[in-house]
Structure 1
Amino acid sequence: MIAKRYLMYISQNYSYAILRPLQAVILAQGGEVSWFLEGNEVNSAFLKADEQRLFSIDAVNSWQPDAVFVPGNVVPNFIPGIKVAVFHGFNAGKINRKGREDHFEIRDCFDLYCTQGPNTTQRFEALAAQHKYFVVKETGWPMLDPLFMPVVDNPYIVPSDTRKTVLMCSTFSQKLSCAPHLFTLMSRLAAKGNWRILVQFHPKMPSEIVNQYKGIVSDNLTFVETDNVIPLLQAADVMLCDTSSILNIFLLLKKPVVTFRNRTNAAYLLNVDTEDQVESTIEHALTYPPKLMASIEAFCQQMHPYNDGKSSERVLAATNALIDNPDRERVRKPYNLVRMFKLRRKLGYWKLKCWR
């Protein structure tokens, strides 16, 4: 039996952590894996020595993947394999330029959406019925498989430091980011030293803001740049955030999140609108108030009810089922000439091959 081939198609550093649990399952089942790195925002230095990289679209086409896993929004139709959306985060309610929720934007690229939980599955199933060219399977999110495994050698857990740990995360969007607004406060909190503070930002955060926070690093505040946020989440007691979808991952650990000007008005978040509310709200969150914790539990059951560490296995099973038994009732994907032209220009590939 010929081993199936799977391409990991990534454009951001955080995608390594999303797809590596899936890679581990593929290799354990005898499959083959290669990586393709699109664009300048993904760092090849994060590839491991035993991970195979394909350097061009010609190389991808020659390798002939059976499936392409994408933790992003778009993928070329001029490479082979069924295209599988595995998402780069949870739905954070962000509205795109078209006035629609970006998480549910259909871009005519995918054959299979592997959804994370009931509150997104139902929406995508409705979209599948409307568009008729893709299928939807609820699998859970591969990135979270390690989240539910025992913590081993976590560099951000310091047993000798008994202070509570606050993790600050922020999105890069100027309209939504809390980082510019809370810099003075975080400087003051770091100077007080009541908590151990970890800071981690979206990789697209403007460099001037990153440099500001790096300038206040001390024994009480650590700035972290990483391709794997899970150890950070496991180490923290409370998160301070804005609208970044990383807060949803943190909630799955059944820990409170304090948000700054979050637009959802959700019961499972402790939201504040002014800087002077932040410190007291973090103190309240650290008590793990029962009403808040019950709201978090209810939300997690809708967002991602899987805590067995086997989401990657479900994604691979759904992918293989579609490879082995294509749904003949599906219509063909739209060509989407404008989007594919942009991808061809970005990748410098002009051969008239279209695998769809």
Structure 2
Amino acid sequence: MSDYLLFATERYALPILQPLAEALHAQGHVAHAWFADGAAESALPAPVRRLAPGRDGLRAAVALKPRAVFSAANWVPPFIAGAKVQLFHGFNVEKRDDARGHFRVRGLFDLYCTQGPATTAPFRALAEQAGHFAVVETGWPKLDPLFRDDDGSAAQLRARAGGRPVVLFASTFTERLSAAPHLLDAIAAQVAAGERYWLLTLHPKCAPELFQRYRALQGPNAHFVETEQLIAAQRAADVLLADTTSVVSEFVVQRKPVVTFRNRAPKPHMLDFADPAQLPAQLARAFAPDAALQQAIDAYAEQIHPYRDGRSSQRVIAATDDLLAGRLGRLRKRPFTSLLRGLQIRRELGYWGPTG
């Protein structure tokens, strides 16, 4: 039995870590969780052992000396013992340039567990240049329940529709990219019509007034879904309406159609539109996809996440075992910039105690 640490800085990371925690428990290991920043007051259900937020929990995490730290954030405290494993908090949806976004290497991780060929190849190229981290394509733990519905939550959401087609609406919090303010009236009209059933959700960082207005649409034709229910909602829905949120990529992995509003980098697998008045027509196209659209959806899904077995968490654990056993090759020492970043993290966390 080994101890592992789960690390997150945002609430939306919890569904990424939960399947991994369950897989660790099934293999006889103990998963502990220490969360900072926006996730500090969050918790994962038992058997995960929650460490207290703040410095007390951080001291406990250091004292734990875990075998590995699994991070669903852009960073990880480097002074905690164990292999540092990057799980990612989303797909690459091209919100930023590669050097500032998804493919930015910060010198803090020993292993990158990539989601599919689209991210594996760039990270392997970076690993060859840097030499201080390994890359293994495992799939993404967050999507394991997308192909299982172990607790029946997706079926429960689907049952609310009463046999009607189901649309899921999701939006990013980035103001310049968010569809939520622009599509509210158009969605409200669709909900009122009742032809389809709507599942509505927003990124946790969206403005409170948006939450209030979308929650007000709940009734016989719509239900508001909390962040922790998002994967179940994706499994339950037939079509996704979104913007430049990474939920687009998560949903497409199921080989289902997506309608996007002013996507920053529209692709052939998306039905992208710019005028809210076009929403009814775009939804009609999505519910009857032609062969070309379905082919584009299938091809994109294969590139970003070809795994549909619900066992990405097990592959992450196996890759970590291989790293620790030296089967992924010898890594170089981390660059000096990672030491500076480590000092910065200590200052930000207010921790100057011993290293794990």
What band does the TM-score fall into relative to the shorter chain?
over 0.9
Per-residue displacement from partner, 1:45-68 (whole Å, max 9, x unpaired)?
Answer: x43243211222211111110100
Matches within 5 A, 1:157-236: 157-158=158-159, 161-236=162-237
Q: Which structure 1 residue ranges, 5 or more long, are not aligned? A: none
| Range 154-163 or range 284-293, more displaced | 154-163
Q: How many Å apart are 1:330 and its aligned residue?
A: 2.0
Q: How many Å apart are 1:255 and its aligned residue?
A: 0.8
Matches within 5 A, 1:162-311: 162-311=163-312
Secondary structure of the corresponding residue to residue 170 of structure 2: strand
Conserved 8 A contact 1:8-1:68: yes
Conserved 8 A contact 1:255-1:288: no
Q: How many Å apart are 1:329 and its aligned residue?
A: 4.1
Per-residue displacement from partner, 1:240-264 (whole Å, max 9, x unpaired)?
Answer: 0001011111111111000000122
Q: How many Å apart are 1:10 and its aligned residue?
A: 1.3
Q: For 1:291 and 1:323, locate their aligned partners in 2 and report how far apart those are by CA, in whole Å.
A: 45
* Residue identity in the other structure for 1:4: S
Q: How many Å apart are 1:94 and its aligned residue?
A: 1.4
* 1:279–1:144 Cα change, 3 Å: same
| Range 233-242 or range 28-37, more displaced | 28-37
Residue in structure 1 matched with residue 101 of structure 2 by the alignment:
102
Q: How many Å apart are 1:338 and its aligned residue?
A: 5.3
Secondary structure of the corresponding residue to residue 228 of structure 2: coil
Q: How many Å apart are 1:341 and its aligned residue?
A: 4.2
* Residue identity in the other structure for 1:34: H
Q: Which structure 2 residue ranges, 5 or more long, are not aligned? A: none
Conserved 8 A contact 2:218-2:224: yes
Secondary structure of the corresponding residue to residue 232 of structure 1: helix
* Residue identity in the other structure for 1:161: G
| Range 146-155 or range 188-197, more displaced | 146-155
Per the normalisation by structure 2, the TM-score is 0.92
* 1:160–1:117 Cα change, 3 Å: closer
Per-residue displacement from partner, 1:174-218 (whole Å, max 9, x unpaired)?
Answer: 011100111111122222222111111111111121112122322
Structure with greater helix percent = 2
Secondary structure of the corresponding residue to residue 136 of structure 1: strand
Q: For 1:232 and 1:144, locate their aligned partners in 2 and report how far apart those are by CA, in whole Å.
A: 12
Residue in structure 2 matched with residue 51 of structure 1 by the alignment:
48
1:121 correspondence with 2:120:
yes
Pairwise CA RMSD: 1.9
* 1:210–1:304 Cα change, 3 Å: same
Q: How many Å apart are 1:150 and its aligned residue?
A: 5.0
Matches within 5 A, 1:29-178: 29-44=27-42, 46-55=43-52, 56-95=57-96, 100=99, 102-149=101-148, 152-154=152-154, 155-158=156-159, 161-178=162-179
Conserved 8 A contact 2:94-2:265: yes
Conserved 8 A contact 2:177-2:264: no
Per the normalisation by structure 1, the TM-score is 0.92
* 1:247–1:43 Cα change, 3 Å: farther
* 1:93–1:101 Cα change, 3 Å: farther
Percentage of pairs with the same residue: 40
Q: For 1:24 and 1:204, locate their aligned partners in 2 and report how far apart those are by CA, in whole Å.
A: 27
Residue in structure 2 matched with residue 344 of structure 1 by the alignment:
346
Q: For 1:73 and 1:250, locate their aligned partners in 2 and report how far apart those are by CA, in whole Å.
A: 23
Per-residue displacement from partner, 1:243-299 (whole Å, max 9, x unpaired)?
Answer: 101111111111100000012231111000111111110111001222111111111
* 1:60–1:141 Cα change, 3 Å: same
Q: For 2:161 and 2:203, locate their aligned partners in 1 and report how far apart those are by CA, in whole Å.
A: 29
Residue in structure 1 matched with residue 18 of structure 2 by the alignment:
20
Matches within 5 A, 1:313-328: 313-325=314-326, 327-328=329-330
| Range 53-62 or range 153-162, more displaced | 153-162
| Range 332-341 or range 188-197, more displaced | 332-341
Q: How many Å apart are 1:159 and its aligned residue?
A: 6.5
* 1:147–1:203 Cα change, 3 Å: same
* 1:41–1:62 Cα change, 3 Å: closer
* Residue identity in the other structure for 1:48: P
Q: For 1:160 and 1:37, locate their aligned partners in 2 and report how far apart those are by CA, in whole Å.
A: 36
Q: How many Å apart are 1:354 and its aligned residue?
A: 4.5
Q: Residue 331 of structure 1: which of 330, 333, 339 is its match? A: 333
Secondary structure of the corresponding residue to residue 31 of structure 2: strand
Q: For 2:294 and 2:341, locate their aligned partners in 1 and report how far apart those are by CA, in whole Å.
A: 43
Secondary structure of the corresponding residue to residue 201 of structure 1: coil
Q: How many Å apart are 1:161 and its aligned residue?
A: 1.2
| Range 11-20 or range 174-183, more displaced | 11-20
Q: For 1:162 and 1:83, locate their aligned partners in 2 and report how far apart those are by CA, in whole Å.
A: 46
Q: For 2:350 and 2:40, locate their aligned partners in 1 and report how far apart those are by CA, in whole Å.
A: 17
* Residue identity in the other structure for 1:325: G
